[in-house]
Amino acid sequence: MAITLPPPLPTPEPIEEPEPSHRDFSDPLGVRLGTPSRLAWLKELKIDTQVGTIWLGFWGVLSTLLFVAGVFVMLLAGLDQVGGSPADLVKYFANVQLLPPDTLGLAPSLRGGGYWQIVLLFWAGSTLAWAGRCWERLRRHRWRPFLLFAWLSAVFLTACIWVFHPILMHTWADAPALGLNSDLDWAQNFSVLWGNLYYNPWHQLAIFFLFGSTMLWGMHGATILATSSEGSHHEDAEIKTLSSGSQKSMLFWRWTMGFNATPKNIHDWLWWYAVLTVIVSGIGILSTGTVTTDWYVWGVDHGTVQQYGPITRDAINHIPRPMPPLPAPGGYIPAPGK
């Protein structure tokens, strides 16, 4: 009688231990937080199951401390607005906002923009310190600085909104207040104030790169998933040594799109599309109020927007005209001054 053996137990995935650089040992803050472990349920989501460790270093520790300090000041300012009640802070958290000062220079008081300036300083220090962490890690591993440039491009857009554009407008009040609803209100009001930001050509270019990024990410993911049975999902190895998976993924792309893409240049395209999204957005912010005070007027003058009906130039420029007196129900029109 044949004996049926039970199937072999699955071999557990090995923990990928961190490989510290020799320079890490000379850094008193070159510490790694946590221990490597696995979360099995992440495998169902097709995500790498290992969690930990994370390396901080001097710049990472500094960035974290500045971030925590900024959050602490925001909570203090929120408590100040709700009379010191933690329950009210939680209840009205979405409406709590830290307003910027009305003019350039130091705020006259904490409630008059001082909280906003303190948090902004902590934000600037934290983001720049994190850029230092990126540079330190890239330098230690002798990698190219694309991660640093991508991070700095996002910092550039944020600085254009909160720092550079208000300076050009000669008032901190042009920057968004710090808060959930206030940030959304600023995004809407900024567009309305300057004649609809959708007509800003730099904003249009940013939308092109944004949608292009999502399209490229979707196409790249679909290509790798379609050819993953050939091993194309091992991209780090496939980029260095092209094998069956990479060759078939390139064929799949060419047959689908009509031109070639390699495991290397597809990431070049993705990097540039993502970075240019925020760079041209920052240029669009800086050009608003400086190049033109009304993007709709600019679009009409340059032929990119069709004028809305037989409307006068004064109306386009939002110059109000005096309203004629409205007749009373009986047809009586009051005399001027009555």
CB 194 within 8 A of CB 291: no
CB 190 within 8 A of CB 166: no
Cα–Cα distance, 87 to 257 (Å, whole number): 57
CB 289 within 8 A of CB 169: yes
CB 63 within 8 A of CB 42: no
- Phi/psi of residue 37, each to 5°? -150, 175
CB 73 within 8 A of CB 67: no
Cα–Cα distance, 203 to 292 (Å, whole number): 14
Given this model, what pLDDT does residue 248 score? 79
Q: How far is CA 174 from the centre of its chain?
A: 20
The pLDDT profile of the chain, 338 residues, written as one tens digit per residue, is 566 666 665 555 565 555 555 555 555 556 666 677 788 888 888 777 887 777 778 888 899 999 999 999 999 999 988 888 899 889 888 888 898 998 888 988 888 899 999 999 999 999 999 999 999 888 877 889 999 999 999 999 999 999 999 999 999 999 999 988 888 889 888 988 898 889 999 999 999 999 999 999 998 888 888 887 777 777 666 666 666 777 878 888 888 888 878 878 888 999 999 999 999 999 999 999 999 888 988 888 888 888 776 666 665 665 544 555 555 445 444 455 54
Given this model, what pLDDT does residue 332 score? 44
pTM value is 0.78
Q: What is the largest CA-CA distance in the chain?
A: 116
CB 93 within 8 A of CB 73: no
Specify the pairing of strand 50-51 against strand 32-33: unpaired
CB 119 within 8 A of CB 74: yes
Given this model, what pLDDT does residue 228 score? 79
